[in-house]
């Protein structure tokens, strides 16, 4: 029995890719076959798999049916959380999705699921992703406190209006996440694993409302995806940080092997 996680499958059995550049490269070649094979090797029907968003490129549910069928056919229990590309999943219609796909899939939003004595809580999350203005020049004072974008130059500014808008989205997602924690807590759960689609911090932040909430409720592990493509693998926290363990589980980062979160 194990709890596994992965994100960013970006399936497209019925839909035309909208960002084909993102899916180029060897790691994406027949990635759905690699993932299915790895799940078959690693998982059994007793296991639980949490898929943390960007499941499908389809815009409407009718364009995602084969992608969701592919996920249903994977071994074990499957719990899905929302990603920024999951246009088929309107938060307000989560109940309808659950009705439609029960017992094969569980769509987790404003709620929680149970694994052993843990409550699995989650939401899409949000981080401000720029645009950042980068200086490729390595001149200047490196100790000026301006973050360095790994191998991509120094960040010398960013779109402040976009940042203000992002803060509103962050607040909305934090409220959804708190609802999830509070429901579990009022039902007596004291052990939590927290799932996000977006990373818990952006490249400017050391902490965020999401890391603070993980600490407030004592989430033992924080699992996120969204950062795919090698240049983005280190955009946020990985490993132990202030008493929690953070995992990036985007599919290409994991090379399509779901990560075991709990035995």
Residues that bind Fe ion in the complex, under the rule CB under 5 A:
8, 54, 83-84, 226
CB count within 10 Å of CB 263 equals: 7
Q: Which is nearer to Fe ion, 84 or 238 (CB)?
A: 84
Work out how close the CB of 230 gets to Fe ion at its nearest, in angstroms, rounded to a whole number: 14
Q: In this complex, which beta carbon is closest to Fe ion, that of residue 75 or of residue 229?
A: 229
- Per DSSP, the residues of 198-234 read S-SS-TT-SS-HHHHHHHHHT-SEEEE----SGGGTT
Which residue carries 């997602």 as its tokens? 173
Nearest residue to Fe ion, scored by beta-carbon proximity: 54
Task: Indicate the residue among 109 and 217 with the shorter CB distance to Fe ion.
Answer: 109
Residue 109: CB partners within 8 Å, gap ≥ 6?
A: 81, 82, 91, 94, 123, 176
User: Quick one: 9 or 105, whose CB is closer to Fe ion?
Assistant: 9
Please report how close the Cβ of residue 210 comes to Fe ion at its closest, in angstroms: 15
Calculate helix-pair angle for 160-186, 209-217, nearest 10 degrees.
Answer: 10
Smallest gap from residue 216 Cβ to Fe ion (A): 25
**Least distance from Fe ion to the Cβ atom of residue 7, Å:** 7
């Amino acid at each position: 029995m194990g709890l596994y996680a992965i994100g960013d499958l970006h399936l497209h059995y019925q839909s035309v890719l909208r960002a084909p550049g993102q899916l180029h490269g060897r790691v994406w070649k027949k990635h759905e076959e690699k993932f299915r094979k790895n799940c078959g090797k690693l998982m059994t029907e007793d296991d639980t798999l949490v898929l943390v968003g960007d499941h499908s490129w389809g815009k409407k549910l009718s364009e995602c049916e084969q992608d969701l069928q592919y996920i249903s056919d994977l071994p074990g229990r499957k719990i899905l959380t929302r990603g920024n590309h999951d246009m088929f999943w309107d938060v307000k219609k989560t109940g309808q999705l659950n009705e439609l796909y029960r017992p094969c899939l569980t769509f987790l939003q404003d709620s929680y699921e149970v694994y052993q004595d843990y409550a699995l809580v989650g939401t899409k999350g949000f981080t401000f992703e720029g645009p950042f203005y980068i200086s490729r020049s390595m001149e200047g004072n490196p100790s000026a406190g301006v973050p360095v974008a790994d191998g991509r130059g120094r960040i010398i500014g960013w779109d402040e209006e976009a940042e203000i808008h992002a803060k509103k989205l962050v607040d909305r997602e934090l409220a959804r996440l708190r609802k999830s924690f509070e429901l579990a807590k009022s039902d007596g759960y004291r052990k939590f694993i927290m799932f996000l689609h977006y990373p818990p911090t952006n490249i400017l932040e050391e902490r965020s409302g999401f890391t603070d909430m993980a600490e407030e409720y004592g989430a033992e592990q924080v699992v996120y995806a969204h950062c795919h493509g090698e240049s983005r693998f280190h955009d946020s926290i990985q490993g132990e940080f202030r008493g929690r363990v953070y995992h990036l589980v985007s599919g290409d980062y994991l090379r399509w092997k779901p990560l075991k979160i709990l035995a």
